[in-house]
Structure 1
């Protein structure tokens, strides 16, 4: 069991993705770079996968060098965490503050980096 509350940083990205999602995999190097730059300043990431094949999911985590916490029920679009967040498509990102409040969503690339930088400088 992993608790989101226990894994909140000053800023936390909840990243919904899957090994089979092309746009997710394209965005992963950017997310890795942001994590590497800002983790020591208080950024955490929790990856939530909509995979259904554990081997492919774990292989993608290793190949893309996703070193943060990952969770999945391996239920594809029936992923309960995705349902809780109302995720209809992936990649989907939710940026949470230290209290767990959603402060931004679905940012990518430079927009994501700029928002993380802004939030961590507060």
Structure 2
């Protein structure tokens, strides 16, 4: 059986479908560029912070626009179940921030594809992505790991069970947004550690010396640190980490109760509120 749809006509339909969201995206990017250039020359720190917050709002608006586009793509892919191009429409955002809360929809749309599409190379790749997505989403049991930390002591997730809430922070010394968040994470640690809050930072670094230097410079030796080398990077696969910063909050029963991809004020606020509601209640 050959593919029923003509892929080039499908491409045209997709371009047409994306015109409104592309227009919004282009306009947001234009506004962001304007604010970036203002930030570069702004001397007043109060004004500068206001501009940074405006950037954050625009980033949230861009994310919302991308989510709206994804919803359109789900409908399109469902209506074109025998097209590789419509599979790629939903395959690309599956591991991005915008797809984070749509696991059930991804599965529903994927199951609707013809067996030829599902068993294609890209189809099998998508099925695997969905498997990792499922095991790392909010509500799932956190994937177990047992790895050596910076002091060569073994850390296993199991040791925190019944005792502590654990925030896993996937980061890297070279990642600007990751490092910008460290003072704020440090505050959360100092506030809640005595009440049963632990942090494990898992670095996607290339060089151990730069990683150790960053830990020392940021003064974050107070919590646990793991370096993921080639032979231990399965932890990032298990947690479906494709970009950093990426945070996962695990409760005392070992269940994932929060997940944040990327940086920004909204993510900070959400994590803060979740910890506040946990520890104020205890």
Tell me if TM exceeds 0.5.
yes
Q: Is the 8 A contact 1:16 1:50 kept in 2?
A: yes
- In structure 2, what is the equivalent of residue 113 of structure 1? 272
**C-alpha separation between the residues in 1 aligned to 2:216 and 2:271?**
23
Spell out structure 1 runs of 4+ moving beyond 4 A: none
> For structure 1, which segment, 105-114 or 34-43, has the greater mean C-alpha deviation from structure 2 after superposition?
105-114
**C-alpha separation between the residues in 2 aligned to 1:116 and 1:82?**
23
**C-alpha separation between the residues in 1 aligned to 2:164 and 2:156?**
16
Counterpart pick for 2:229 among 65, 74, 79: 74
Counterpart pick for 1:5 among 158, 170, 182: 158
**C-alpha separation between the residues in 2 aligned to 1:63 and 1:84?**
29
> For structure 1, which segment, 107-116 or 24-33, has the greater mean C-alpha deviation from structure 2 after superposition?
107-116
Q: Higher relative contact order by CA 8 Å / sep ≥ 6: 1 or 2? A: 1
Is 1:88–2:242 an aligned residue pair?
Answer: yes
Q: Deviations over 1:51-83 (max 9, x none)?
A: 0100110111111111200111334xx822111
**Structure 2 gaps, min length 5:** 1-153, 261-265
Aligned-CA RMSD value: 1.7
TM-score, with length taken from structure 2: 0.40
Q: Is the 8 A contact 2:160 2:252 kept in 1?
A: no
**Structure 1 gaps, min length 5:** none
SS at match of 2:241: coil
Q: Is the 8 A contact 1:18 1:57 kept in 2?
A: yes
- Whichever structure has more strand as a proportion of its residues is 1
Q: Is the 8 A contact 1:11 1:116 kept in 2?
A: no
SS at match of 1:25: helix
